[in-house]
Structure 1
């Protein structure tokens, strides 16, 4: 009987030790889980950007300056197979090659008149570009629009840009018409751009299609819109005035 009792005692002792060992294991496991959870929490917290970091990133993203080309089918790249062949896109390639922090925005609309430009300038200028290239008026001239109206519309566009984005530098791109529109009309049409540039103290491109207009090999079949080679020359015409504004 004593032997039986002794066996029961050792059995109880073994069971008790096993229970304590299990409890101890659970305790260690709980500590490990807690420690891991805390470490994970710390790691997660470290990966969350602070308000200061977020503000710095936002400021960095908005540091890129913009050049907005506001015009008609010439700016829009009418008739080109590749949208990257237009003069605004060629300008972007030139800017990128010089590693200048500027983005060119193409805001050209085929068929646009000065009246159309006047109607959309209010929302376009909300982009507050650093440089605003105004290239409009050719469609007015080809339609024989009264020159007083063309002049008034261009002045209205300039006024809106000056009012809503006063720090923006404006470049006015001059235009000329084919001689079949009549000498008096074409002469006055050419002069109105020079007058507006002088009156408003604008950067001025006398004729954006210089060395392109009227040259068959540099224009599409219609004889009006530049082809790929023509747009490269147009980009050079713009670059002559734009470059000094970008480089220190």
Structure 2
């Protein structure tokens, strides 16, 4: 059996869900894998509130497990804490480099984030460009905006308006599945 690690923050962990083990995006991708006969185990390495720097610090724990696919979703909490886009990129790049050193043949995917230009004082363009630059630099499968179709949709988020509901995660899983599926190997 091969392993897929979703490594991220509350958007990976499934913050606010009644049962994140069944409703968060990694669990929904596991269901898709099972339904299509793929022999993969999805690991949810999400930690609510995590930043790119925090992810870099805790990465070694996860690298002690055999991994075949690494899916990275971090960065939005950094911008909320006014960490510079340059530092966010540096941390995310260091995470990817560390993964590649440990597993040179691993397949990589990046779940990008976007912030609206409506938020004054934030370096929106610099932040929004981080993810494409990182994906290009490492030839990673890329989802430009992980929350596409869910962000700002009241009926697809929990009460805080920031985190997807179980229904919101279904939308996310449908949108990211076509990016993840080409990374898979099917044993017959």
TM-score range for the pair, normalised by the shorter chain length: over 0.9
Q: Which residue of 2 aligns with 1:70?
A: 7
Q: How many pairs were matched up? A: 185
Higher share of residues assigned helix:
1
Q: Which residue of 2 aligns with 1:222?
A: 160
Counterpart Cα distance in 2 of 1:123 and 1:229: 31
Counterpart Cα distance in 1 of 2:145 and 2:2: 26
CA contact (8 A) 1:175 1:206 kept: yes
**TM value normalised by structure 2:** 0.94
CA contact (8 A) 1:141 1:177 kept: no
Would the alpha carbon gap of residues 247 and 129 (structure 1) be closer, same or farther in structure 2, given more than 3 Å must change? closer
Q: Which residue of 2 aligns with 1:93?
A: 31
CA contact (8 A) 1:90 1:235 kept: yes
Counterpart Cα distance in 2 of 1:210 and 1:153: 24
Regions of 4+ moved over 2 Å: 178-184
Q: Which residue of 2 aligns with 1:165?
A: 103
Q: Which residue of 2 aligns with 1:56?
A: none
**After the TM superposition, which residues 236-247 of structure 1 pair with which residues of structure 2 at under 5 Å, given as runs?**
236-246=174-184
TM superposition shift of 1:128: 2.8
The unaligned stretches of length 5 or more in structure 2 are none
Counterpart Cα distance in 1 of 2:66 and 2:117: 38
Counterpart Cα distance in 1 of 2:23 and 2:125: 31
Matched, 1:79 2:9: no
The unaligned stretches of length 5 or more in structure 1 are 1-63
Matched, 1:204 2:142: yes
RMSD of equivalent CA atoms: 1.4
Q: Which residue of 2 aligns with 1:213?
A: 151
CA contact (8 A) 1:212 1:233 kept: yes
Highest CA radius of gyration, 1 or 2? 1
| Counterpart secondary structure, 2:64 | helix
Q: Relative CO higher for 1 or 2, CA cutoff 8 Å, sep ≥ 6?
A: 2
Counterpart Cα distance in 2 of 1:219 and 1:96: 26
Counterpart Cα distance in 2 of 1:182 and 1:200: 31
TM superposition shift of 1:212: 0.6
TM superposition shift of 1:183: 7.7
**TM value normalised by structure 1:** 0.72
Counterpart Cα distance in 1 of 2:176 and 2:64: 23
Q: Which residue of 1 aligns with 2:62?
A: 124
Counterpart Cα distance in 1 of 2:178 and 2:103: 24
| Counterpart secondary structure, 1:144 | coil
Q: Which residue of 1 aligns with 2:127?
A: 189
TM superposition shift of 1:180: 4.0
